[in-house]
Amino acid sequence: MTQTVKCISPIDGSVYAERPLLSEAAAFEAAARARAAQGAWAARPLSERIALVRAAVAEVGKTTDRMAEELAHQMGRPVRYGGEFGGFEERASYMADIAEDALAPIVIEDSETFLRKIEREPQGVVFVAAPWNYPYMTAINSIAPALIAGNAVILKPAAQTLLVGERMAEAFHAAGIPEDVFQNVYLSHDSTSALIAGRAFDLVNFTGSVGGGQAMERAAAGTFTAVATELGGKDPGYVRADADLQAAADTLIDGAMFNSGQCCCGIERIYVHESVFADFLSRCVDIVKGYKLGNPLDSETTIGPMANARFAAEVRAQIAEAMEQGAQAHIETFAEDDGGTYLSPQILTHVTHDMRVMRDESFGPVVGIMPVTSDDEAISLMNDSDFGLTCSIWTQDTAAANALGRRLQTGTVFMNRCDYLDPALCWTGCKDTGRGAGLSVLGFQALTRPKSYHLKKA
């Protein structure tokens, strides 16, 4: 009997999409086709690969209304936010813009005697395991530069967003990218592990849970297959006494609650100088009380359901445990909170790092806010985490933010903003967030390997 994978819509618990999983044999055949096609793809001029990727992005852009509605059904993001094409296009376009320079040879010497240079060659077959929370934008981080660099790509979409891979494959193939060069596949965990262990891929790019990243690394053990991981975070914000409090409240709360808090770089804990704590908290509470929880297909809804009842249950458990340990909740339960996927956003104070809500990844619409007495105390608390993806500092003093940033264990330091991925900067992390280098010039380096030429002419 053929195994299937299902997308259960958070809107009403119905089966929104169901697809058959590839057998292990069929999965290896798909990988073999990708490897066979990759050489011819890499042999095409770089300018041609860039143009085809740009055309594929434009094809995706023809269906943005469908994208927004399908994402609402699959993972609950309100249609009012319009899908993900803006970030999708921005990231792919930037990588296309810099490709020729990023992939250009480094010429050490070109004299009458020697030609010495370093060139970049594609890794080969790149496997992209994409997450459900930003399925288009996260996938394109690797797919666009991988294809541009001459790799073949196999995409495995998350179960919660089954249709995304199909939509991307339709667009990329319509634009002229060969079907074997870019493939969308549905795989079981066992088949995925078998492919990695069997050296079907030259690079694995995984965005997801810590457990998922560990499984990828275990499968790759001893194969020397490169594994790049981005495994989420517990990202902190720090509001100094000189901060613009309204701007800080507006942006940090949006960073904590947008997408129902289901953002890898979402704000999950906030530290505020004690002199402005009460004022800042009041502004945050007012913002959250103005949210409208509801069906994401309703244009009035500002916060939709969480993607899965299991995810919502974990957030509720963290909130309940914190309150049992003395935390104070500032938001009353919304009338639309059904005890399932529809979850009221919450702000907690009187929290400590003994509470899971301040230590474990919540990945939901809850944030703990703590007062601090100094920069040193804030830095200590911000670093007191198993994760290290981003952090956000709110101040009028750029020099201070620079100095504090050097002391923070994180992949990205923001000042007076948060929850944004700049494609010109490297997207990376440390600690349990994993290891990887996405986007920027470094993204091309991760998707290629160096090859040295030492040619003696005479």
Decide: helix, strand or coil at residue 213. helix
Residue 426: closest CA among 156, 152, 228, 148: 228
Annotated catalytic residue within 7, 84, 263, 264: 264
Separation between Cα atoms, residue 343 and residue 305, nearest integer Å: 6
The encoded tokens of residue 94 equal: 């930037």
Name the pairing type of β-strands 387-388 and 430-431.
Answer: antiparallel
Instruction: Output the CA–CA distances (angstroms, integers) from residue 172 to 65, 101, 158, 330, in the order listed.
Output: 18, 24, 19, 47
Cβ–Cβ under 8 Å, residues 322 and 298: no
Cβ–Cβ under 8 Å, residues 158 and 75: no
Catalytic residue list contains 230: yes
Decide: helix, strand or coil at residue 15. strand
Separation between Cα atoms, residue 4 and residue 98, nearest integer Å: 40
Name the pairing type of β-strands 267-273 and 328-329.
Answer: unpaired
Annotated catalytic residue within 59, 89, 230, 268: 230
Separation between Cα atoms, residue 227 and residue 446, nearest integer Å: 10
Cβ–Cβ under 8 Å, residues 36 and 179: no
Catalytic residue list contains 264: yes
Q: Give the active site residues.
A: 230, 264
